[in-house]
Copies of this chain bind each other. A is one copy, B any other.
Amino acid sequence: MTAAIDAINFATLDTEPFYLPIGDEVALFEAAYAARLPVLLKGPTGCGKTRFIEHMAWRLYRQRRKALEVPLVTISCHEDLTATDLVGRYLLKGDETLWSDGPLTRAVRTGAICYLDEIVEARKDTTVLIHSLTDHRRILPIDKTGELVSAHGDFLLVISYNPGYQSILKDLKHSTRQRFVSLDFDYPGREREAEIIAREAHVDESLAERLAVIGEKVRNLGEHGFEEGVSTRLLIYAAQLIRNGIEARRAADIALVAAVSDDRTVQAALADIVDTVLPATDP
């Protein structure tokens, strides 16, 4: 098994990651970081949790560190992710057996923020691993080498999960959950979302506004039986297709209607919204 790890080296970024706050989440995160309290981000798919954590890493580390080292390690959890993937393993290189730190260990040693995305998808042994990093001990034991790594003063553990998904089988254990401060996320409001669409897809404000209206209306469709609304990402896709010459309703068809669900009833409800909001074009 391999861990899907995305360690962003800020030295390679020359601009601040774009993030449009939707409430007081920036201040709350800064206070939690000041006290080094572990943070849990809750919210639906594609509402900007990954962007937020990239943005916060930038804010918190830009001034703290002159030499821009690796301050953020993102790990997408899945059911085959093991403790070994996170902590590290011995690798055979030629005649030697060398220890290779895993991404969590690298974050603990260097004082990065370690972001475990969709933590409940991971295997249970990974969950247990983080316990000693999230209480007064702040240590990571490495069984295979016998080393006890005390966390760098800048280290913080952040996890996310999506309450809409969780089955009983895959809920977060209380003994894990009660180690985190929780920040709730949701899709941005209409105006903010229009601003994001216009900026990301390079389309005019009028089109962006219409697509944001579609997003808002679809998310109010809760009673039609689909648990997740359309993500901001899909609205941006629709805008990009339009900018590349696809007729607006057709673009919404393939980026929104067909992408969100296979259920014909749900698709019809979405198509109605699209028809109402987007103008028909002459064939």
Contacts and interface: CB of A to CB of B under 8 A. Distances in A.
Interface of A: 1-7, 9, 24, 27-28, 31-32, 34-35, 37, 40, 42, 45-46, 50, 74, 76-85, 87, 90-97, 100, 102-103, 118, 121, 123-125, 127-129, 131-132, 135, 137, 139, 141-144, 146, 148, 162-163, 165-166, 173-175, 177-184, 227-228, 230-231, 233-234, 237, 240-241, 243-246, 250-251, 254-255, 258-260, 262
A22 B102 CA distance: 41
Contact of A4 (B3, B5, B131): B131
A179 B233 contact: yes
A152 to B, nearest CB: 17
B177 A259 contact: yes
Chain copies in the assembly? Answer: 6
Q: Which secondary structure dominates where chain A touches chain B?
A: mixed
Contacts of A255: 37, 181-182
Contacts of A177: 259-260
A133 to B, nearest CB: 10
A182 to B, nearest CB: 4
Contacts of A141: 4-7
A148 B243 contact: no
